[in-house]
Chains A and B, each alone.
Chain A
Amino acid sequence: MRAERVRFTFDGRPLTAEPGQTVGAALLAAGVRSWRRTRAGGRPRGLFCGIGACFDCLVDVNDDRAVRACLVPVRDGDQVRTSESVGVDR
């Protein structure tokens, strides 16, 4: 029996992921290569080192800002958003 897909959104767009998949892997699998704009240049960034060392893959998930997409497993109902490369201010 196939496991249920995890349902999440990216900038409002509904997507699904495999259970256990990270946000970064799920986005790549869905054809999304970048999910962050850099602070100074507004340049797109996605996954670079894949293991949590480079902090390039920062993404916003629900109330969390600038978390590493390559480390965070995606959960059902997560609202993933393009990060502006800054931490939380609330």
Chain B
Amino acid sequence: MNEELPPTADAVVIGAGLVGAATAAALAATGRRVLVVDRSGPLGGTTAAGEGNILVSDKLPGPELTLALRSVALWRELAEAEKAAGGFEFEGKGGVVVAHDEAQRAALLELAGRQRAAGVEVTPLDPGGLAEAEPRLAPGLAGGAFYPQDSQVQPMKAVLALLARARREGAVVAGGAEVLGLERGPGGAAGAVVTSRGRVAAPVVVNAAGPWSGAVAQRLGTSVPVRPRRGRILVTEPLPAEVIRHKVYEADYVGAVVSDSAALRCSAVVEGTASGTVLVGSSRDAAGFSAGPDPAALAEMARRAVRLFPFLARVRAIRSYTGFRPASPDHLPVIGADAKVPGLFHATGHEGAGIGLAPATAELITALVNGTEPVVDPAPFAPGRFTEVVADAG
């Protein structure tokens, strides 16, 4: 990957995380000569801190759910195609959402009904059904819902697999190339990307820099209101297989996602992995890119996880890590043409759903770049919907 930067490209993708990799693969498959640039290497950003979630269950009916449903289908196709090459541990394990009390259960049922109308497969679970789905759950829960479409993937393997796909179609991936600026051509259109490793003339530039998209946009002469929303994960020691079978989370998770609060919000998300470890999340707060120790978040996540699965009290965490979700002010991704600079596109702002939404994002961007009919309506994601730079909310 320390290949020389080509002097020209049909499209430059900024960011070698999952959204960037998927976009590069999709664009390259339509015959474009793609260059992917990243200031470090693949997996230098948020993707490496992701759990690998592909979810429909946590989305309210609306544009993001529509995108997610399309993306889940694309992930399944990708997983099939990549099986021969070793795959990326795609698991269609399904998600179980848990309600602690009657009020939560009623709200969950109502949400499930609306989601079903929008095309989501969902089965309500009474306490008996919940216990059957997840025998290790605490007794006394009010019930829940099962979402068979929820899946999991090993995101890092997926990035490398997608970049390999892109390369097979002629793409070049350049690490250690930090974007410094954008040269504009006639009509103010994108002309060339200037990086720390050299200049590349390209008519199309896609900003897929995750939580750094805001900073990158500024260097490109525009703006996009994407800011980091920090999250922590606790990882346990390996456990016997099948101790936790699905992704399991509390019904108030959706509330945490759409909250505008900058203060710490935690909601239990617990799932097993192929390697036997259990991942315990989730936390959200606005603290820039600070990754230092966070006793309050770890304690709260652990408390909530043990409340759901009492046996976890004796299970040991062996590490924790931090990731920064790219968050937009209205909690919808930012996908589409920049309002000011022709030829510049953004594919960012996925806030904790980037892995799940990456294939559909890539498909959408590719359609917009090539001027073909998009599968999903792009209007709700348009970068131009932000008429001004939004003041920092937290």
Chain A contacts to B: CB under 8 angstroms: 39, 66, 84-90
User: Is B314 among interface residues, defined by CB-CB distance under 8 A?
Assistant: yes
Contact in complex: B311, A86 (CB < 8 Å)? no
Give Cα A88 to B311, complex, Å. 8
Task: Show 17 residue pairs from A and B whose CB-CB distance is below 8 angstroms, ordered by the A residue.
Answer: A39-B276, A66-B237, A84-B240, A85-B238, A86-B237, A86-B238, A86-B240, A87-B236, A87-B239, A87-B315, A88-B314, A88-B315, A89-B239, A89-B240, A89-B311, A90-B311, A90-B314
Query: Which chain B residue shows the least CB distance to A90?
Result: B311
Cα distance A68–B314 in the bound complex, in angstroms: 16
Q: Bound complex: CA of A80 vs CA of B315, how far in Å? A: 19
- Whole-angstrom distance from the CB of B241 to the nearest CB of chain A? 9
B residues near A, CB below 8 A? 136, 236-240, 243, 276, 311, 314-316
Q: Which residue of A lies closest to B275 (CB)?
A: A39
How many residue pairs, one in A and one in B, have C-beta atoms under 8 Å apart?
A: 28
Known: A84-B240, A86-B276, A89-B136. 4 other contacts (CB 8 A): A39-B238, A66-B237, A88-B314, A89-B239
Chain A residues, CB < 8 A from B276: 39, 86
Closest to A85 in B: B238
CB proximity of B90 to chain A, nearest CB, Å: 20
Chain A residues near B315 (CB, 8 Å)? Answer: 87-89
A90 to B135, CA, bound (A): 12
A72 to B140 alpha-carbon distance, docked (Å): 37
Least CB distance from A56 to B in Å reads 14
**Which B residue's beta carbon lies closest to that of A39?**
B238
Give Cα distance in the complex from A86 to B272, angstroms. Answer: 13
Report the separation of the CA atoms of residues A56 and B316 in the bound assembly, to the nearest whole angstrom.
Answer: 16
Q: How far is the CA of A90 from the CA of B276 in the complex (A)?
A: 15
Question: Could you tell me the distance in whole angstroms from the C-beta of A29 to the nearest C-beta in chain B?
Answer: 28
Point out the residues of chain A lying under 8 angstroms from B314, CB to CB. Answer: 87-88, 90
What residues on A are CB-neighbors of B311 within 8 Å?
Answer: 88-90
Q: Nearest residue in A to B236 (C-beta to C-beta)?
A: A87
Q: How far is the CB of B236 from chain A (nearest CB, A)?
A: 7
Measured CB to CB, the nearest residue on chain A to B136 is A89
Q: Please, which residue of chain B has its CB at the minimum distance from the CB of A58?
A: B237
Top 5 nearest A-B pairs by Cβ distance?
Answer: A87-B237, A88-B314, A86-B238, A89-B240, A89-B243
